[in-house]
Amino acid sequence: QWNEPRNCARRYLKVDFADIGWSEWIISPKSFDAYYCSGECQFPIPKAMKPSNHATIQSIVRAVGVVPGIPEPCCVPDKMSSLSILFFDENKNVVLKVYPNMTVESCACR
């Protein structure tokens, strides 16, 4: 994925619950597309990266260099979606929960 442009963007990440040791109690799904955000939010931040007003200002302050130590804005999840997980609770009963903010839909500079 690093051959792609280095600007802030959503990248593909598939999480397999077995890989993180959770498959013992998660019945379904076995894996899901989580995605992640990565890339630069350098000045000038393109509109496509949906910078917040604050991120724009921070980017300018950093570019101008008046305040030392200010980092560039972060590339973070913007819109996220929920994921339904079917799992066993501590008494081995089956539970279905809809967890919010489990999958990245889009990224932004913030």
Residues 17-56: x/- map of binding to another protein (CB under 8 A)?
A: ----xx-xx-xxx-----------------------x--x
Nearest CB to another protein, comparing residues 3 and 53: 53
**60 is an interface residue for another protein by CB under 8 A:** yes
Measured distance CA(50)–CA(73) in Å, rounded: 12
The nearest distance, CB 15 to another protein, in angstroms, is 11
Tell me the chain's radius of gyration from C-alpha atoms. 18
Task: Point out which span in 5-13, 33-41, 72-80, 89-97 binds another protein (CB under 8 A).
Answer: 89-97
Is residue 34 within 8 A of residue 26, CB to CB? The reply is no
Torsion of CA 100, 104, 8, 6, to 10 degrees: 140
Which residue is associated with the tokens 């597309």? 33
Query: Would you say 36 or 87 has its CB closer to another protein?
Result: 87
